[in-house]
């Protein structure tokens, strides 16, 4: 980071500004290597194709399959990025440096979550058109916009929970297995309404039918962003 | 006449018995093992 | 029990704690056995559902104890651990989670065994079944995470955080599983009107309930004692090494 050398912690920036600095650090690492992003995108594309071959095309219409495929892909490609989030910090004990910096723990968590949100969003921006293309989805009108809204609402909740669990599992022996194991049950209340809303959008149902589902996603976001931000400091102290 | 489905409840009771008694035995054995190790270290 | 002054569990006692035979657990098991004997031979067969209805006497108490006694203990001990930082609370949370897993497993096995003859299907994506299944997954994840963490303090903190987040998760899982239809029988004992079971069945259920609650606490006590001994052992080994 390019913090001026002559600024001791007297001007600690606001929580959000600090969070942005942390996020920028992570995104910079990711942007320079691009390893996780490319892996997640390739994984998403392969999964899109494989899911189509997992069912009889004459028995299951692509439009019935698409919402489930979309959400399974989001969740699993998201987990790929989330796993790295704290994995990179534990690798060379970089975490100690982060903790020694004059950064509040809450800001650190929000920064990590922000970077993960950007990662998930980037994967979704590739995956949604891919699913629309391969599954021949009617994405005209407001449908695509609606799916993006649902995806954005769902991503916030997924990332909040996933970032916290990534911090908790990052330095265990079983990290890559433990993270999905802990996180997936927490993803159920996100994936269920999100997939239902997606299915209704694709079926051209009116927006009013989705209000309850969107409210549920929003409530999950608010509660778990707050809870995970407050819980994060407990996972650090000694 | 009630339906003849006693086999299901026999199976359920057998599972319950094995589960509860098995877990209780497991706990006793685990504790006995730790106790033995404790006795050895205290010497 | 046997020794006059039992040393506190939080500090490492010099001599190992009381060695007397622990009779509570065998007695609790006998109690459950008695309840089963009463249910099998001394309780009338329900006319509509047949003998399979007797699964109810083990299923309902196990579900109630696991979901409404065991898991709340995990949640409360998790919250209190983060507040008081007493390792005994962490051991109780760990023990209650493991014992609850046994009871939830009993629920998930006996449920389908009742569902097949009565509903005609082993499993249905009914709200209560699904909720229990997800809680089972969460508890299993909790215990596996504990096993994967080496550091004592870290394990206790992470577990407590997970235990508390799970409390927030329950209403959301409940909401999402209710998006599907429910066909689970509603509570028939705690209805506001008079209970709708014949008296012999009701007393069998009551006995089964009492026996299951006693078994839960007997298992919990044994598990907490084991955790305390194990802790003592690992401290001693660390002290030597």
* Integer Cα distance of A198 and C12 in angstroms: 57
Do B15 and C110 count as a contact with CB atoms less than 8 A apart?
yes
Instruction: Name the token pair of C144.
Output: 């596996």
Q: What's residue C21's pLDDT? A: 64
Tell me which of A90 and A17 has the higher pLDDT: A17
Provide mean pLDDT across the span A178-194: 92
Q: What's residue B37's pLDDT? A: 92
A chain contacts of residue C82, beta-carbon cutoff 8 Å: 234
Q: What's residue A10's pLDDT? A: 40
pLDDT band at A38 (very low <50, low <70, confident <90, very high): confident
Tell me which of A8 and A179 has the higher pLDDT: A179
Q: What's residue C47's pLDDT? A: 81
Which residue of chain C has the CA closest to B21?
Answer: C29
Q: Which helix (H) or strand (E) holds C42?
A: none
Report ipTM for this prediction: 0.93
Please enumerate in sequence order all residues whose Cβ is within 8 A of that of C137, keeping only pairs 6 or more positions apart, or say none: A184, A185
Interface A:C, Cβ pairs < 8 A: 75
Which residue of chain B has the CA closest to C35?
Answer: B13
Q: What's residue A174's pLDDT? A: 81
Q: Which chains touch B (3 or more CB pairs under 8 A)?
A: C
Domain boundaries, chain A: 15-236
A101-142: pLDDT as tens digits: 777 888 899 999 999 999 999 999 999 999 988 888 888 878
Tell me which of A14 and C34 has the higher pLDDT: C34
Q: Which of A37-51, A166-180, C4-18, C26-40 shows the lowest per-residue confidence on average (mean pLDDT)?
A: C4-18
Give me the DSSP letters along chain A: ----TT--GGGPPPHHHHHHHHHHHHHHHHHHH-HHHHHHHHHHHHHHHHHHHTS-TTTS-HHHHHHHHHHHHHHHHHHHHHHHHHHHHHHTTHHHHHHHSS--HHHHHHHHHHHHHHHHHHHHHHHHHHHHHHTT---TTTHHHHHHHHHHHHHHHHHHHHHHHHHHHTTSTTHHHHHHHHHHHHHHHHHHHHHHHHHHHHTT--GGGGHHHHHHHHHHHHHHHHHHHHHHHHHH--
Task: List alpha helices for B1-43, DSSP H.
Answer: 6-42
Provide mean pLDDT across the span A21-50: 85
Across A86-95, A196-205, C9-18, C132-141, the highest mean pLDDT is recorded for C132-141
Do C15 and B42 count as a contact with CB atoms less than 8 A apart?
yes
Angle in degrees, CA A140, A143, A145, rounded to 5: 105
Q: What's residue C6's pLDDT? A: 44
Q: What's residue C19's pLDDT? A: 55
Q: Which of A53-62, A119-128, A180-189, C79-88 shows the lowest per-residue confidence on average (mean pLDDT)?
A: A53-62
Ranges in chain C, pLDDT < 50: 1-16, 182
Q: What's residue A211's pLDDT? A: 87
Q: Helix (H, G, I), strand (E, B), or coil: what is residue C124?
A: coil
Per-residue exposure over C28-65, b if at least 16 CB sit within 10 Å of its own CB, e if not: bbebbeebbebbbeebeebeebbbbbbbbbbbbbbbbb
Q: What's residue C192's pLDDT? A: 52
Do C164 and A231 count as a contact with CB atoms less than 8 A apart?
yes
Q: What's residue A13's pLDDT? A: 59
For residue A172, pLDDT beyond 80 = yes
Which residue in C82, C148, C176 is closest to A174 by CB distance?
C148
* Integer Cα distance of A32 and A29 in angstroms: 5
For residue B32, pLDDT beyond 50 = yes
Which three-class secondary structure string do you get for C170-237? HHHHHHHHHCCCCCCCCCCCCCCCCCCCCHHHHHHHHHHHHHHHHHHHHHHHHHHHHHHHHHHHHHHH
Residue C50 β-bridge partners: C46
Q: What's residue C185's pLDDT? A: 63
- Asked whether the CA dihedral C130, C136, C142, C148 is positive or negative, the reply is negative
**Disruptive mutation site among C161, C177, C178 for chain A (greatest number of A CBs within 10 Å):** C161
Q: What's residue A1's pLDDT? A: 45
- Average pLDDT over chain A reads 85
Task: Name the residue among A131, A127, A128, A124 with its Cα closest to residue A52.
Answer: A131
A chain contacts of residue C156, beta-carbon cutoff 8 Å: none
C chain contacts of residue A186, beta-carbon cutoff 8 Å: 165, 169
* Integer Cα distance of A124 and A132 in angstroms: 12
Q: Does B40 touch chain C (CB under 8 A)?
A: no
């Amino acid at each position: 980071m390019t913090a001026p050398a002559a600024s001791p912690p007297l001007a600690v920036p606001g929580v959000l500004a600090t969070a942005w600095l942390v996020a920028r650090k992570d995104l910079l690492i990711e942007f320079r290597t691009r390893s996780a992003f490319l892996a997640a995108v390739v994984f998403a594309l392969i999964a899109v194709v494989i899911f189509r071959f997992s069912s009889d095309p004459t028995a299951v219409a692509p439009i019935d399959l698409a919402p489930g495929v979309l959400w399974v892909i989001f969740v699993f490609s998201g987990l790929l990025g989330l796993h790295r989030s704290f994995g990179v910090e534990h690798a060379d004990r970089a975490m100690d440096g982060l903790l020694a910096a004059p950064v509040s723990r809450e800001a650190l968590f929000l920064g990590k979550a922000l970077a993960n949100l950007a990662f998930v969003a980037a994967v979704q921006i590739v995956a949604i058109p891919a699913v629309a293309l391969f599954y021949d989805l009617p994405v005209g009108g407001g449908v695509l916009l609606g799916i993006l809204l649902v995806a954005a609402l769902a991503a916030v909740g997924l990332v909040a929970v996933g970032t916290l669990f990534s911090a908790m599992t990052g330095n265990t022996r079983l990290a890559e297995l433990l993270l999905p194991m802990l996180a997936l049950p927490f993803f159920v209340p996100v994936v269920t309404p999100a997939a239902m809303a997606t299915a209704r959008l694709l079926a051209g149902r009116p927006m009013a039918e989705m209000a309850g589902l969107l409210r549920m996603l929003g409530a999950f976001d608010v509660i778990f962003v707050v809870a995970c931000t407050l819980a994060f400091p407990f996972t650090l102290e000694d | 006449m009630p339906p003849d489905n006693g086999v299901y409840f026999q199976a359920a009771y057998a599972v319950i018995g094995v589960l509860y008694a098995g877990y209780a035995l497991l706990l006793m054995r685990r504790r006995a093992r730790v106790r033995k190790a404790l006795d050895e270290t205290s010497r | 029990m046997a020794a006059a002054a039992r040393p506190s569990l939080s500090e490492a006692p010099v001599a190992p704690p009381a060695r007397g035979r622990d009779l509570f657990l065998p007695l609790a098991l006998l109690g459950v056995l008695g309840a089963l004997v009463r249910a099998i031979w001394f309780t009338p067969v329900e006319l509509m559902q047949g003998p399979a209805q007797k699964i109810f006497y083990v299923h309902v108490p196990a579900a109630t104890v696991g979901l409404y006694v065991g898991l709340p203990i995990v949640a409360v001990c998790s919250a209190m651990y983060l507040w008081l930082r007493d390792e005994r609370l962490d051991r109780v949370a760990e023990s209650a989670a493991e014992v609850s897993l046994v009871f939830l497993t009993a629920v998930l096995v006996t449920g389908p065994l009742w569902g097949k003859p009565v509903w005609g299907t082993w499993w249905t994506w009914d709200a209560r079944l699904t909720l229990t299944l997800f809680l089972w997954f969460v508890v299993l994840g909790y215990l596996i995470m504990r096993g994967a963490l080496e550091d004592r303090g870290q394990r206790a903190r992470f577990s407590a955080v997970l235990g508390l987040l799970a409390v927030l998760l329950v209403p959301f899982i409940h909401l999402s599983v209710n998006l599907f239809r429910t066909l689970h029988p509603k509570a028939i004992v705690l209805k506001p009107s008079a209970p709708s079971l014949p008296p012999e069945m009701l007393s069998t259920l009551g006995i089964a309930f009492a026996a299951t609650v006693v078994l839960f606490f007997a298992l919990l006590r044994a598990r907490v004692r084991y955790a305390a001994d194990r802790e003592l052992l690992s401290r001693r080994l660390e002290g030597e090494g």
